[in-house]
Amino acid sequence: MKRHLTIWMAAALTVVLVAAGCSSDSSDGGSEGAGSDAPSTALVAEADEIVSAATERPTAMNIDTKIQGSIPQDGTLYFVECGAPACAELGDKVDEVAKSVGWESVRIQAGLTPETIKDAWQQVVNSNPQSPAGVIASGFPKEIFASELATLEAEGIPVVNISVNDDVGDGLTAVLGHGDDRNTEVGRVQAAWVVADSEGTANTVFVRVAGFPTQVPQSEAFETEYARLCPDCEQDLLEVATESMGTTLPQDIAAYLQSNPDVDYVVLSYGDMAIGVPSALKDTGAADRVRAITDTPNPTVAQYIADDNVVVAATAYPGPEMVFSAADIIFRSNLDEEIETTVDAQLPLWLMTSETIPSTTESFPIVESYREDFEALWNL
């Protein structure tokens, strides 16, 4: 597969477009749109099988070892909350889990820039947390707040980071939803869905945000699986600035689609990126030709999916499950108990469409019984 780099300007915002065009050699058969043989029936059938398995909703958490002692009382859970809407929903779950065990929860706003993120971690340090306590965060790499992590480690405060590519150590007690694990699987499932939905004829752009490192393994897994299942399908990678979220992102995507009229599938690596996209595409006339899939849909995006409004499918985010898992690790760490049973547990994955989206008014878990499952583990 050939790759080339193009600089594309839109709405006074510079974004990087990495075009992953397929070879013109059609000896293996490819999409009709590429002027080659018909798509491989066997590969489309394989994509269908992957999608079918992913649409089965998991029914239980994969953790079976109970806490041996009693959760200590009067503890504090800190949550370093990024500026994306999905992070606020995680914060709500931190409040929920703290209340369920009688702990205090403290949410510290971290914004979306390295400066504000580091400042938020310094606020945690300045609060002088005392055991029993723990810190949960998400989305940003530990090198931004390495000195603060070192201070917390010296004080014996466990820290769990969610949805990052970091390795454990240097103050990180555990990482949940590591990009090379969960996001790789999400990218693979998204690729299968595009191939199955298009019956092997898609022309796709994958859109990711520069400031979220976990989206890199997701996009790379998508590219690999998409190329395997549909060798002659075309694909591009559009990387946008973090600051475009909530501002110019819908218009940037619409402008890209105007400049690339053959693209008919859009993969949005993160659900908050989809907000406003259907309206922006409608304004340019692209809404009628484009179908999109995303990950981690919020209620607004869930409504798009329910209405088949441009965004028609999504992989659900195990946010509630990861927050409760992070708390479980913190509780066990404060009791000096083994944490591997939780750290090594496979996270649930679920692909949803308009027929299966559970709610368009509030966030929802993948595993409906997750809270009861954890309370049983905690002997509550």
- Does residue 327 carry a pLDDT above 80? yes
Computed over every residue of the chain, the mean pLDDT equals 88
118-145 pLDDT per residue, tens? 999 999 999 999 999 999 999 888 999 9
Is the separation of the CB atoms in 220 and 59 below 8 Å? no
165-208 pLDDT per residue, tens? 898 999 999 999 887 889 999 999 999 999 999 999 999 999 99
Retrieve residue 182's tokens: 């969960």
- Does residue 77 carry a pLDDT above 50? yes
CA-based Rg of the chain, rounded to a whole angstrom? Answer: 21
Instruction: Report the alpha-carbon distance of residue 119 to residue 116 in Å, rounded.
Output: 5
Instruction: Report the alpha-carbon distance of residue 16 to residue 7 in Å, rounded.
Output: 5
- Does residue 81 carry a pLDDT above 50? yes
pLDDT score for 155: 94
pLDDT score for 157: 97
pLDDT score for 163: 86
Q: What is the DSSP letter of 169?
A: B
236-269 pLDDT per residue, tens? 999 999 889 889 999 999 999 999 999 999 999 9
Q: What does DSSP say about strands 234-240 and 203-209: parallel, antiparallel, or unpaired?
A: parallel
> Nearest 5 degrees, angle CA 17-CA 19-CA 21?
170
pLDDT score for 370: 95
Q: Which residues pair with residue 81 across a beta bridge?
A: 109
Task: Return the residue matching tokens 């946010």.
Answer: 319
Question: At the fourth CATH level, which superfamily is domain 4-22+37-54+181-315?
Answer: Response regulator (3.40.50.2300)
Go through the chain and tell me how many residues it has: 380
Query: Domain limits of the chain?
Result: 4-22+37-54+181-315, 76-177+320-347+364-377
Same fold yes or no, 4-22+37-54+181-315 and 76-177+320-347+364-377: yes
pLDDT score for 26: 36
- pTM for the full model? 0.81
Q: How sure is the predictor about 37, in pLDDT bands with cuts at 50, 70 and 90? A: low
- Is domain 76-177+320-347+364-377 in CATH 3.40.50.300, yes or no? no
Is the separation of the CB atoms in 317 and 370 below 8 Å? no
